[in-house]
Structure 1
Amino acid sequence: MASGKQKHFVFKHFPMEMTKENAFVIFTKAFWRENSIYKVIFPKLEEFAKSRGFEYEIPTPKYYKGYNDDKHDYILLEDVRPAGYIMPDKTISLTKDQVILIMKELAPFHAISYAFLRDQGERVFKEVEGFQYCFFADDIKEIMGTNFDILIQKFYDVAIEVLEKRYPEGAEKMRKYVEKNGTPPNNVEHLTDKKYFPTLAHVDLWSNNVLIKNDELGQPTSVKIIDFQFMQRGNIFTDLLYFMYTSTTPEFRKAHLHTILNVYYDAFQETLEKIKTPLPWGFTKGFLIDEFEAGIISAFGRMTFVLPIQLGSLTKTKPEDDKNSEDLIPDADVHSKENIMKMYMESPRAQARLEALAREMVENNYL
């Protein structure tokens, strides 16, 4: 560099070889969305906060540039690893101090985006290509027909099979839930803003999408959030439930859940005070805790889907099938029941996490 200082970058680019999964990236406009979020949404949120007297910087790596054409798409970001940021180990729970730090960053982002939407309305979405798309939204389920529901059912059914030998009571409770309700738990009210006040939700917030910097004593001091390809207009529970159930253990939640939610609430309230915006009507600490607990069964349903993908061994039984990418829905091959089971069988950690989750659901009468 002309300044004499060395710069480090992260270059996210479009997959060169076309597969069904890569075609799905095109279908979801993931690169279009993330580029637009960095270029349009984040600057607008920071400008809005500044206009209200609050100097606010979204906790992400610096964005330099990006490009989209569904063939050569890329995003160029600052590489913050040389500055000391590291990704936590996804196989273990985050610590209390790490989660508190993340909540103190997540709550202001939710609060400012809520205030922004309250003040500016929907105009910003017209400037962001594909922004209202969400993998779990009702409209996308219509586009995908029954494939999405079948996909969720596959993962849930395999989870029952995995648990039958490790925790038969949990497997039976899961089976009875479907018999009673017709489908696995997947409450879309916690994935949209139809019931709750709107905000911007990351949607895929978990330990692999945060980078944490520690001080000399090993205490977390700063966090960067990454991977915004699924960000959407949603609600706070979308992120809170997903984060807590992907990134902490039942033991952690039993000991610290209410403390963590209190930290989040206080940071949310303090941020709104700084930007002179009233709290959403009825949004109290009691409401936050009650609605979080109401969404736990939904979080469990989603975990049966994401757990083998996040902690399992991602393999394919028929790699040659990827050559046919006409179908944009990745509902075969890697997501066959055979492959989902293989993900679990090759990952004792995934099996153990599933069992721990099921026990938590049964012991707390959620299932």
Structure 2
Amino acid sequence: MSRFSFILQATDGAARTGRIDTPRGAIRTPAFMPVGTAATVKAMLPESVASTGADILLGNTYHLMLRPGAERVHALGGLHRFMNWDKPILTDSGGFQVMSLADLRKLDESGVTFRSHIDGSKHALSPERSMEIQRLLGSDIVMAFDECPALPADRDRLASSMHLSMRWARRSREAFGDRPGHALFGIQQGGLEHDLREESAAALREIGFEGYAIGGLAVGEGQEAMFGCLDHAPAMLPEDKPRYLMGVGKPDDIVGAVARGVDMMDCVLPSRSGRTGQAWTRRGQVNLRNARHADDPRPLDEACGCPACRGYSRAYLHHVTRSQEMIAGMLLTWHNLHYYQELMQGMRDAIAEGRFSEFEAAFHAARAEGDIERL
């Protein structure tokens, strides 16, 4: 079995492009990972997701352990077979969802006990159990178990949380064991505090991981604060390993993150927006619920090659959105994922050709124009 590896192919300023090789295929970076929370990218077939250019999906440890259960997925051949996706899958550790979704949670050194948001049943997650669940799911990239405090938080809270996460990172590494072809990523924490981020990165480097994530951002701090942190956080992590910014984000967040040295991102936004009538285009966000689209025969984006733009008018997309027809979420999700993957390919090409700053300027200029004039 081939091993997990990362090749850095080109840089342009802090921006990087490269390739992660896994036994299930290559991941071109910068990479955007669509989120398949419960073993599905909502409103999409797996082959449709692949057709947009996605090399890897994200699965949700917390949701899958509750329903249908990691042991059941394992018995049915693992997550790839279960959801009919043969490319790489990254699973998160479950820590963030426990903090944000679970009821009556109790945190101590050993881990977290909590009640399911689905049926109130009691569960425990620890670094060891998180590693076991992710092994049962069979994901290619496994995330260390961590705690992610919401921002803003005071410095003492951030420091104690980061130190706990670093102790859990070591336990995650030990519990992960030797799994050729699979990778374990450590997660840097420390909020917006430069020195805590540095201390966290040093602890993770000492433990040693196949990749490194920047956690604890996109949790309410705002873009300016996030970019301020990303001005220094990625460079604290090893240059020869992938850097993953968790839970980001909007297209301008993604471009800004790549400009600061990030290689991988994930977000529910393209699919969640698609289900609520929101489309992301090169000229910004379009709300298909708005009456201005009701008589518009033009495509959502005439330069886009996705099925929603090739075969349907804004008037139709407005109609099915307002009528709450299932096809609305299907077409708009497909469009959004297509747009995101086109954005990633554009950045990969620009970095390889040494013109990333021009790409970034053109990206912002197109968005500043706003949507096409109404008819």
Is the TM-score greater than 0.5?
no
Q: What band does the TM-score fall into relative to the shorter chain?
A: under 0.3
Greater share of residues in strand: 2
| TM-score, scaled relative to structure 2 | 0.27
| TM-score, scaled relative to structure 1 | 0.27
Greater share of residues in helix: 1
User: Which structure is higher in RCO with an 8 Å CA cutoff and minimum separation 6?
Assistant: 1
